[in-house]
Structure 1
Amino acid sequence: MAKSCSVKMIGFEEVMNSPGKVLGRGNFGTTYRAVLGTWNGFVVAAKMLRDDCVHENEFRERVERMGKMIHENLLPLTAYSHGMNRWLLLFEYMPNGSVCDHLHGNEDADINPLPLSWEVRSRIAYKVARAIEYLHSQGPDFCHGNLKSSNIFLTRIYEAKVSEYGIGHLISPVTKAYHIWGCSAPEMKNARDISQKTDVYSFGVLLLELLSGLAPLFALMNKKGVDLPKWVRSIVTDKPSFVVFDQRLPKSKLVEDQMVQMLQLGIYCTFQSPNKRPSMKILAEKIKDICQFTS
């Protein structure tokens, strides 16, 4: 079911009446864990969008397009639903939680977060880069729009699965949805300001988060975060770059060399000027070379 390129329509009450719990609240709505009885107990993460979405015909058209995005590192959109003037998007549930859960903890997640090694973190960065490169290859108007560590889930073997791609295009253009979390590019003022270059900025923040182990500004509810691009620039200007790196990571000369090069990529991605940011294709290639990945 998760590998199908056809998005199913499911009854709204089927989802709302199923056993579930709140998994998190984000820019575009609340995500629930739901168990679907008519799907033989299939477990989904159901994203209930805010009520300021685009017109129904446009919504369905864009959701169908999202459902055709097939990549090994994208979390498939399996179904959607409508009722009570609200829209639901259903993704396959990932019981190992998100990158955010493992880096920063989450009392609501049903997982036992373990420290992520540099090998795991660097591979997450590479696989996410490939997934976003794939999205960008679908056309100049297609992008993720809400890339952050809480939207990157991990399989049981810690393979990255990117979720919530394209949701920004489902929200009304006048919606003020940004500058409330520290992963958005400075040029983003509303939900329709998303672009491939804003994705690159958000990916850069993710790189800095993986390297430092620190949460971006406003990324965690009721917890303080850091303006990572600003903080990193202030550190590398005055001190050796290794001060930036997560002290939980055991380091060798090879690992430190890789981290220094990845840090530079993170800085490039978060340039204020969109035109100075590299493409995701270039980033995926550079990460593959830096970390010596074969696939």
Structure 2
Amino acid sequence: MITGNRGPGRIPLDWTTRISLVLGAARGLAHIHEEYKSSRIPHGNIKSSNVLLDKNGNACISDFGLSLLLNPAHASARLGGYKAPEQFETKRLSQKADVYSFGILLLEMLTGRAPNQYLSPSRVGVEEEEQSVDLPKWVRSVVRDEWTAEVFDQELLRYKNIEEELVSMLHVAMTCVAALPEKRPTMAEVVKMIEEIRVEQSPLGEDYDESRSSISPSVGTTEG
């Protein structure tokens, strides 16, 4: 619903709806991590196509348990979720890798770009499912040049007065995709960070500016 069907006739997902969806997904993943905290069982296959919506528009995490049916040594390669950097060496699933994958999901929501648009050029020739997702690297490079506004989906930039919320969510995403697993928050902490982002009623009507396609490039930066 975010990266597909970008042509004419598309109904954009407004900012409030996007936050509601990622918060629902975050709570679902946090519940899984808490339920299996002692055994440290991860979801292992976090990607946008595994976040489904029920008839009421609530986000639900699907495919949990699939990783348990596979040999642990092969699960990482066989599953198509977004992979954390350490998984290319260890080939192991983990709850910290789930957090990284969720960070990619947040970046998808914020940028409107599919992760496979930014595959690592150093891995050309590697099987597609084994290539690393380089969306975080692209975002860091844009933010480093102080053009943070260029990161965000053009559909979101048409809404007024949400710059602070966008940057706050970007900070959450970049915290999740920290290169070192121990630097990443738990999913319970991610849920709390998202809940603390100020979100007013959906900025539609007079707050939606059809002519607006950009915001000041100096809205703020965040460190990955």
User: What TM-score bracket applies, with the shorter chain setting the length?
Assistant: 0.7 to 0.9
- Within-5 A mapping of 1:184-195: 184-189=83-88, 193-195=92-94
Tell me the distance in 2 between the aligned counterparts of 1:179 and 1:238.
Answer: 37
Alignment correspondent of 1:136: 33
Between the aligned partners of 1:103 and 1:115, the Cα distance in structure 2 is 8
* 1:110-125 superposed matches below 5 A: 114-125=11-22
Distance 1:226 1:148, change over 3 A: same
Q: Which runs of 5+ in 2 are unaligned?
A: 119-127, 201-224
For the 8 Å contact 2:76–2:87, the answer to whether it is kept is no
- Alignment check: 8 A CA contact 1:179 1:189 kept: no
Q: How does 1:97-108 map to 2 (within 5 A)?
A: 102-105=1-4
Q: State the alpha-carbon separation in 2 of the partners of residues 182 and 135 from structure 1.
A: 16
5+ residue gaps, structure 1: 1-101, 107-111
Aligned equivalent of 2:176: 269
Alignment-mate amino acid for residue 205 of structure 1:
I
| Aligned residue among 137, 140, 150 for 2:49 | 150
Asked whether the equivalents of residues 169 and 191 of structure 1 are also in contact (C-alpha less than 8 Å), the reply is no
Aligned residues: 182
Name the Cα RMSD after superposition: 2.8
- Tell me the secondary structure at the aligned position of residue 147 of structure 1: coil
Pairing 1:61-76 to 2, within 5 Å after superposition: none
Residue of structure 1 equivalent to 2:206 = none
Q: Pick the structure with more strand per residue.
A: 1
> Alpha-carbon deviations, 1:77-100, whole Å to 9, x = none?
xxxxxxxxxxxxxxxxxxxxxxxx
**Distance change >3 Å, CA 218–CA 212, structure 1 → 2:** closer
The match for 2:147 is: 240
Answering whether residue 64 of structure 2 is matched by residue 165 of structure 1, we say: yes
Once residues 209 and 124 of structure 1 are traced to their aligned partners in structure 2, the CA distance between those partners, rounded to angstroms, is 12
Match of 2:135 among 223, 228, 243: 228
Question: How far apart in 1 are the matches of 2:75 and 2:195?
Answer: 36
How does the TM-score come out when normalised to structure 2? 0.72
Check 1:128–1:291 CA distance in 2 against 1; reply closer, same or farther (3 A cut). farther
Query: Structure 1 residues 240, 266: CA separation in 2 closer, same or farther (over 3 Å shift)?
Result: same
- Give the 3-state SS of the residue equivalent to 1:161 in structure 2: strand
Specify which structure has the bigger relative contact order, considering alpha-carbon pairs within 8 angstroms and separated by 6 or more residues. Answer: 2
Kindly indicate whether the alpha-carbon contact (under 8 Å) linking 1:212 and 1:246 is maintained by their aligned counterparts in 2: yes
Bigger radius of gyration among the two: 1
